[in-house]
Chains A and B, each alone.
Chain A
Amino acid sequence: MTVVGDSGLPRDAGRRDALHHRERLRKKITEQLKQGIGEEDIIASGPEKKVRVPVKGTKRWQFIFDRGRQQGVGQGDGKPGDVLGPSGNSSPRPGEAGLEPGEELYEVWLDMADVEEMLFSELELPRLKPKNESEIESSRTVYDEIARKGPMLDKKATLRENLLRNAKRGHVSLGGIEKPDLRYLTYRDVPKPRSRAVIFLAMDVSGSMDANRKRMARLFFYWCVQFLRSRYDQTEIVFVSHTTEAREVTEEEFFNRVESGGTKVSSAFEAIDEMQSHRYPAADWNVYVLHVSDGDNFSADNLRTLELIQSLARVCSLVGYLEVDPGSMTRSHKLSLFYEQEAGDVAGFVHARASEDRELWPALKLFFAKDDVEAAVR
């Protein structure tokens, strides 16, 4: 017989848990993206790019009856024999949990920018060094850094700090914002030496690269390009296709051209070596090379290839090789095996294999490892 004006509980508890839910969803989506996301999932181009991500792991698991076989009771019009529309697949209401399967979120649409943020924050161009003083860029003012002092309060970052600080003390909630929580947006206009970088992307397009291998190679390069463009917009990208001969191609050709013929991997490295020494001297440029092939090289060419890799590795920040190899029975003739045996001591050379899509992300992470985890890279 009492009416009270409130519940005596924190009002924002719902919002707090909703944030936890979204954060959890975000992590699951990120994991999912790493399992391999096809180009076909990226809809529309330009700045409006959206990615369709099927989200597993958001289902509320419980034992339910075989859905096609179950009987039920409904209310409303309809004669025996009538077929009625989707049978109340709405989300469960509290108290009815157990009577309906949990909400199923089959797919979500994400902005490409969000996806990049989720994924690419884990990647970095390794060993990026300031190059030639003369290339100093005129100073720019960019508000993109968060600091404890600054001209503009960043509310979002402040709340995040507050939550973090509270969480460390065991209360996962917002509140009691104090000075140590305050975060400011601040600008950079210190003249920064430009860390100029060039990356050579070389793809084997020979006959042995069947549709699936080419698809994997393209997918891998697609994410490379997305990563570089979103994080290092000053980076130059040189596209190289090779069979027994190599040539520089446009981005469009690189992703779409179909060729056939034998394989001579050294041709690609020769072409890269040539372009690098003439156009991108190591004194002025951070140089990166990534090569993707199915590893079916003309075996007499292997030694020559290794020589070129050794010489490139001396001037490059990274030479990487990814073997896309779904379903090969034997590796005896593969380039990866040869590298394993012969190239163990070449500093700055990293190689990896992927036999399915979800191994592409670990490869990407290996090549673009953050410098503080360099131990993983030889």
Chain B
Amino acid sequence: MSGYTLADLQDVDERCRLIANGELGFDVPEVIYHLVAPEEVYFAAANGLPARYSSARWGAQFDDAYGRYQRGQERIYELIFNTRPVHAYLMDGNSLVAQTLVIAHCLGHGYVFENNEWLGAVDREIMSRVISAAERIADYMGAYGRDRVEDFLDACHAIAIHQPQAQLIRKAAAREPEHRSRPFDVLFPDEVSADRERVAQERTALRSRFPREPEHDLLSFIEANARGLEDWQRDVISIVHTEQSYFVPQMRTKILNEGAAVLLHQEVCQRLFLPTDRYLEYEQLNSVVMAPHPARVNPYNIGINILREIMRIAAEPNDEERELWSWAGEVEPFDQVRNVLAAYDDEGLLREFLTPKVCELSQLYAFQHLEQDPRRIRVSSREADAVREVFVAQHSTLGIPHVQIVDADFRGRGELLIEHIHDGVGLDEEYARGTLSQIAMLWGKPCTVQTIKGRETDQHTWFTGYPDGRSERYVTAPQ
């Protein structure tokens, strides 16, 4: 350890809490800190939760990230888990000032975990399930071979993100077509009977359709309906599904959550360090955390800028803002932040509070990938409205395409038909085909997705993956 003891850290936690709770009004739940080696921090970062099942998948991420750490290219300071009680990892070897920043930062996360409506919906007792799942998967690897289980896990992970809560799905019941009687029906008997016929046919078609309504939860549907899966495979599907459902709310509140954590570490550390010579060290760390990421967005940076904008609107709104928000100028700034932290996710936060001022502070721009070289981008606008439109669209689906299973007996052969509900942008062909052969491996039969070609909303295209790993593209609906 670097010149401090566990008791020192405990003391830091108590002082931070005193400020957070007493001065700022954030009632933070208990956080249990673990002082651990960098290796462990990076491994937990690779798999997102401690004690998760062993898999080459985490090994790949760990290798990559820990390598960057060892080469001095990046450094994780803290990791926090949305469990009850909340657990956090502090990296051994960091200075006391860094640990103080991290502890204060964790108080922000802890507050959001406890109070945010999306994060509160998570199964916070997940650890016992994670541990027992790890044991079962190790058993399956022993019994059926590691490679086979790893391959199966990869296939599950390819579509695990497609869960309803990820996409704000409002399920509308499929309406059955019906013939409405009209006053002049009697004058057109032929047309009316033809219409009745058509409606009856459509209704029969609808009733024989499976699933009756499009299914957004890909893994659950496959687990429940795929033929030929062994028990261990169904168990693995449900493990991946359950664990993914823990991560989805975190993904949808990333900006909000990091904003809250930065707000608390800034407010607490300024009060702790300001008069001392340690302030400079703190400020250097803080600016590293806040640095913009080129060509993408640093959630810490945008998160804090939005929360501070909300505080400004609460304290010193202009006339226009008074019109827009009834609470503007009427509420304590920290109270308003807490209101937002309780009820919003990133999509709502961006939609409502990505003001021109935030765009300017965070130097945001909207961009378009170059068609000829998608690795390069062209700045398309710095206007807040344009940036907001792109940003909100991205966050409303967590940045992933929205797909749903529409037919589980496609072509009358028990194949799966998946529809891509596009927003004017099609799917990447290589990845779609690769993903489909993974789904086909789970389903046991060919799986097809219907999407559009590039941005041509009127040109459909179909990709089909086969259980043996092959895949095809079709320009007309496969027969």
Whether a CB of chain B sits under 8 angstroms from the CB of A87 is yes
Cβ of A59 and Cβ of B434 under 8 Å apart? yes
Q: Known: A69-B369, A86-B376, A95-B250. Contact between A63 and B435, CB under 8 A?
A: yes
Whether a CB of chain A sits under 8 angstroms from the CB of B216 is no
Whether a CB of chain A sits under 8 angstroms from the CB of B40 is yes
In B96-125, which residues have CB < 8 Å from any A CB?
A: none
Cβ of A74 and Cβ of B33 under 8 Å apart? no
Whether a CB of chain A sits under 8 angstroms from the CB of B126 is no
Nearest residue, chain A, Cβ from B66? A14
Select B251's contact among A83, A88, A98, beta carbons within 8 Å.
A98
Interface string of A45-79 (1 = CB under 8 A from B): 00000000000001111111111111111111111
Cβ of B377 and Cβ of A6 under 8 Å apart? no
In B150-193, which residues have CB < 8 Å from any A CB?
A: 150, 154, 157-159, 161-162
In A144-163, which residues have CB < 8 Å from any B CB?
A: none
Interface string of B36-59 (1 = CB under 8 A from A): 110110111111101100111111
Whether a CB of chain A sits under 8 angstroms from the CB of B6 is yes
Nearest chain B CB to A128 CB, angstrom units: 32
Select B425's contact among A3, A65, A95, A99, beta carbons within 8 Å.
A65
Cβ of B36 and Cβ of A71 under 8 Å apart? no
Interface string of A1-27 (1 = CB under 8 A from B): 111111111011111111111111001
Nearest residue, chain B, Cβ from A23? B56
Chain A residues lying within 8 Å of B132, measured Cβ to Cβ, are none
Cβ of A71 and Cβ of B390 under 8 Å apart? yes
Q: Please measure, in the bound complex, the distance between the C-alpha atom of A103 and the C-alpha atom of B381, giving whole angstroms.
A: 29
Cβ of B157 and Cβ of A60 under 8 Å apart? yes
Whether a CB of chain B sits under 8 angstroms from the CB of A277 is no
Select B60's contact among A21, A66, A89, beta carbons within 8 Å.
A21
Whether a CB of chain B sits under 8 angstroms from the CB of A113 is no
Cβ of A82 and Cβ of B60 under 8 Å apart? no
Chain B residues lying within 8 Å of A11, measured Cβ to Cβ, are 37, 39-40
Cβ of A17 and Cβ of B59 under 8 Å apart? yes
Cβ of A83 and Cβ of B376 under 8 Å apart? yes
Whether a CB of chain B sits under 8 angstroms from the CB of A233 is no
Whether a CB of chain B sits under 8 angstroms from the CB of A271 is no
Nearest chain A CB to B168 CB, angstrom units: 15
Q: Please measure, in the bound complex, the distance between the C-alpha atom of A22 and the C-alpha atom of B425, giving whole angstroms.
A: 36
Select B13's contact among A3, A74, A172, beta carbons within 8 Å.
A3
Q: Please measure, in the bound complex, the distance between the C-alpha atom of A92 and the C-alpha atom of B11, giving whole angstroms.
A: 35
Whether a CB of chain B sits under 8 angstroms from the CB of A188 is no
Nearest residue, chain B, Cβ from A103? B64
> Interface residue count for B (Cβ, 8 Å)?
111
Interface size band for A: 35 or more
| Chain A contact residues, majority secondary structure | loop
Select A73's contact among B10, B40, B367, beta carbons within 8 Å.
B367
Chain A residues lying within 8 Å of B427, measured Cβ to Cβ, are 63-66
In B361-409, which residues have CB < 8 Å from any A CB?
A: 362-372, 374-382, 387, 390-391, 393-394, 398-401, 403
Cβ of A60 and Cβ of B158 under 8 Å apart? yes
Chain B residues lying within 8 Å of A62, measured Cβ to Cβ, are 157-159, 161, 400, 431, 435
Whether a CB of chain A sits under 8 angstroms from the CB of B63 is yes
Nearest chain B CB to A240 CB, angstrom units: 40
Cβ of B48 and Cβ of A20 under 8 Å apart? no
Q: Known: A73-B367, A75-B364. Contact between A88 and B55, CB under 8 A?
A: no
Whether a CB of chain B sits under 8 angstroms from the CB of A171 is yes
Q: Which of A63, A72, A88, A94 has the most CB of B within 10 A?
A: A63
Q: Please measure, in the bound complex, the distance between the C-alpha atom of A136 and the C-alpha atom of B137, giving whole angstroms.
A: 54
Q: Please measure, in the bound complex, the distance between the C-alpha atom of A63 and the C-alpha atom of B17, giving whole angstroms.
A: 43
Q: Please measure, in the bound complex, the distance between the C-alpha atom of A95 and the C-alpha atom of B346, giving whole angstroms.
A: 14
Select B146's contact among A59, A95, A172, beta carbons within 8 Å.
A172
Cβ of B33 and Cβ of A3 under 8 Å apart? yes
Cβ of B401 and Cβ of A76 under 8 Å apart? no
Whether a CB of chain B sits under 8 angstroms from the CB of A167 is yes
Chain B residues lying within 8 Å of A3, measured Cβ to Cβ, are 6, 9-10, 13, 32-35, 90
Chain B residues lying within 8 Å of A76, measured Cβ to Cβ, are 292, 294-295, 363, 365
Cβ of B36 and Cβ of A95 under 8 Å apart? no
Q: Please measure, in the bound complex, the distance between the C-alpha atom of A74 and the C-alpha atom of B380, giving whole angstroms.
A: 11
Q: Please measure, in the bound complex, the distance between the C-alpha atom of A59 and the C-alpha atom of B428, giving whole angstroms.
A: 14
Chain A residues lying within 8 Å of B56, measured Cβ to Cβ, are 17, 20-21, 23-24
Nearest chain B CB to A57 CB, angstrom units: 9
Whether a CB of chain B sits under 8 angstroms from the CB of A44 is no
Nearest chain A CB to B331 CB, angstrom units: 29
Nearest chain A CB to B57 CB, angstrom units: 8
Whether a CB of chain A sits under 8 angstroms from the CB of B61 is yes
Interface string of B344-361 (1 = CB under 8 A from A): 000000000000000000
Whether a CB of chain A sits under 8 angstroms from the CB of B264 is no
Q: Please measure, in the bound complex, the distance between the C-alpha atom of A168 and the C-alpha atom of B142, giving whole angstroms.
A: 7
Whether a CB of chain A sits under 8 angstroms from the CB of B297 is yes
Select B294's contact among A4, A16, A74, beta carbons within 8 Å.
A74
Nearest chain B CB to A239 CB, angstrom units: 39
Q: Known: A3-B35, A9-B40, A87-B295. Contact between A61 and B434, CB under 8 A?
A: yes
Q: Known: A3-B35, A17-B59, A170-B139. Contact between A9 and B51, CB under 8 A?
A: yes
Q: Please measure, in the bound complex, the distance between the C-alpha atom of A186 and the C-alpha atom of B434, giving whole angstroms.
A: 47
Whether a CB of chain B sits under 8 angstroms from the CB of A327 is no
Cβ of B367 and Cβ of A87 under 8 Å apart? yes
Whether a CB of chain B sits under 8 angstroms from the CB of A84 is yes
Nearest chain A CB to B39 CB, angstrom units: 5
Select B36's contact among A6, A82, A99, A101, beta carbons within 8 Å.
A6
In A95-113, which residues have CB < 8 Å from any B CB?
A: 95-101, 103
- Given contact pairs A97-B161, A168-B142, a sample of 16 additional A-B residue pairs in the complex whose CB atoms are under 8 Å apart: A5-B35, A13-B54, A17-B54, A17-B62, A60-B157, A61-B158, A63-B431, A63-B449, A64-B401, A65-B428, A73-B391, A84-B376, A89-B375, A93-B65, A96-B254, A99-B400
13 interchain pairs, CB-CB under 8 A: A6-B36, A11-B37, A27-B147, A59-B431, A61-B431, A70-B425, A71-B390, A76-B295, A80-B380, A83-B379, A87-B375, A103-B60, A103-B64
